[in-house]
C-alpha cells in the first residue's frame, strides 16, 4: 500500500508572503499527495484498466489524474524547499554557473521573471541532459510542458493559488518576493548533486547524458 506523506516546511522563514497564503497553498499540495496515494493504490485488475477509450474512459481519467498528482507532488516539494529556511544571498558554484551562462544574475532574474509572467503554472530552471546547460522551462499545468531527463534546480510556482490571496493580480510583485526568498544553499545542493551524477556516469559511459540514456 502506498502511504506517501507530505513533507513539512518552515513557512515561518518566508518573508513577504502571509502564513494564510502559504497554509492554503500547502493544503493543495497535501491534496496532491493524498490523490497520488489513492491512484497508486488502485489494484491492477482488468475491471480497472480495460475501459480505455481516448475521448472518455476510466483509464483516461486515471492516467490524466496520475501525472497531475505526481507532478503536483514533486513540484511542490521542490518549490517549498527552495523558498524556505533563508540562505537568501546568492552564492556558490550554482551562482557562478548561472552568471556564466546568463551573463549576469540580473539577466537571469529578469528572464525567469518574464517566463513566470508568461506562464500559468510553473517556471523552472533545469539543467537538461541533452546539453548539460541551464534552461528555463515554462508550463501551464503540473503535467503540461513538462520535460523528461531534465534536472530541476529552481522551481517557481506561478499558479494564481500561489499568490492571489496576498498579491491579487500583481504577479510580478509575488515573483519579486519569491526571488527574495530563494534558498541558495538548496540550489547549490541540487547543482552539486547533478555534477556528481554527471561525473559518476561519465566514468562508466562514453556519452554526455548523465542519466546514461544516450
C-alpha Rg value of the chain to the nearest Å: 19
Q: How far is the CB of 209 from Fe ion (least distance, A)?
A: 30
CB closer to Fe ion out of 40 and 159: 159
H or E stretch at 63: helix 58-81
Smallest separation (angstroms) from Fe ion to the CB of 79: 7
Residue 111 or 159: which CB sits closer to Fe ion? Answer: 159
Q: How far is the CB of 102 from Fe ion (least distance, A)?
A: 25
Cα–Cα distance between 202 and 212 in angstroms, integer?
8
Q: How far is the CB of 10 from Fe ion (least distance, A)?
A: 17
CB nearer to Fe ion: give 49 or 159: 159
Q: How many CB atoms lie within 10 A of CB 55?
A: 5
Where b means 16+ CB within 10 Å and e means fewer, 65-92 reads: ebebbbbbbbbbbbbbbbbbbebbebeb
Q: Which of 175, 174, 195 is nearest to 96 (CA)?
A: 195
- Pick the closer one to Fe ion by CB: 28 or 95: 28
Q: Are 191 and 97 in contact (CB under 8 A)?
A: yes
* Nearer of residues 143 and 157 to Fe ion, judged by Cβ: 157
Give least dist CB 165 to Fe ion, A: 12
Among all chains, which residue has been given the C-alpha cell 531534465?
150
* Residues engaged in binding Fe ion (CB under 5 A): 157, 159, 162
The residue at minimum Cβ distance from Fe ion is: 157
Q: Which is nearer to Fe ion, 25 or 190 (CB)?
A: 25
Query: Least distance in Å: CB of 162 to Fe ion?
Result: 5
Angstrom distance (rounded) from CA 132 to CA 135: 9
What cell does 170 get? 500583481
Contact 165, 174 (CB under 8 A): no
Amino acid at each position: 500500500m502506498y502511504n506517501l506523506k507530505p513533507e513539512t516546511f518552515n513557512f515561518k522563514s518566508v518573508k513577504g508572503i502571509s502564513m494564510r497564503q502559504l497554509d492554503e497553498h500547502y493544503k493543495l499540495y497535501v491534496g496532491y499527495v493524498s490523490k497520488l496515494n489513492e491512484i497508486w493504490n488502485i489494484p491492477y485488475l482488468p475491471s480497472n484498466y480495460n475501459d480505455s477509450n481516448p475521448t472518455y474512459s476510466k483509464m483516461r481519467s486515471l492516467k490524466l489524474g496520475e501525472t497531475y498528482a505526481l507532478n503536483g507532488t514533486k513540484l511542490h516539494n521542490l518549490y517549498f524547499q527552495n523558498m524556505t529556511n533563508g540562505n537568501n544571498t546568492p552564492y556558490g558554484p550554482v551562482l557562478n554557473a548561472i552568471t556564466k551562462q546568463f551573463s549576469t544574475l540580473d539577466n537571469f532574474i529578469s528572464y525567469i521573471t518574464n517566463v513566470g509572467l508568461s506562464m500559468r503554472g510553473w517556471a523552472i530552471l533545469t539543467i537538461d541532459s541533452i546539453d548539460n546547460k541551464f534552461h528555463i522551462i515554462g508550463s501551464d499545468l503540473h503535467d503540461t510542458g513538462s520535460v523528461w531527463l531534465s534536472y530541476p534546480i529552481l522551481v517557481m510556482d506561478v499558479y494564481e493559488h500561489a499568490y492571489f490571496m496576498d498579491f491579487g493580480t500583481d504577479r510580478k510583485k509575488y515573483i519579486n518576493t519569491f526571488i527574495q526568498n530563494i534558498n541558495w544553499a538548496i540550489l547549490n545542493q541540487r547543482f552539486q548533486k547533478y555534477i556528481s551524477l554527471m561525473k559518476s556516469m561519465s566514468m562508466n559511459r562514453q556519452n554526455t547524458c548523465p542519466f546514461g540514456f544516450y
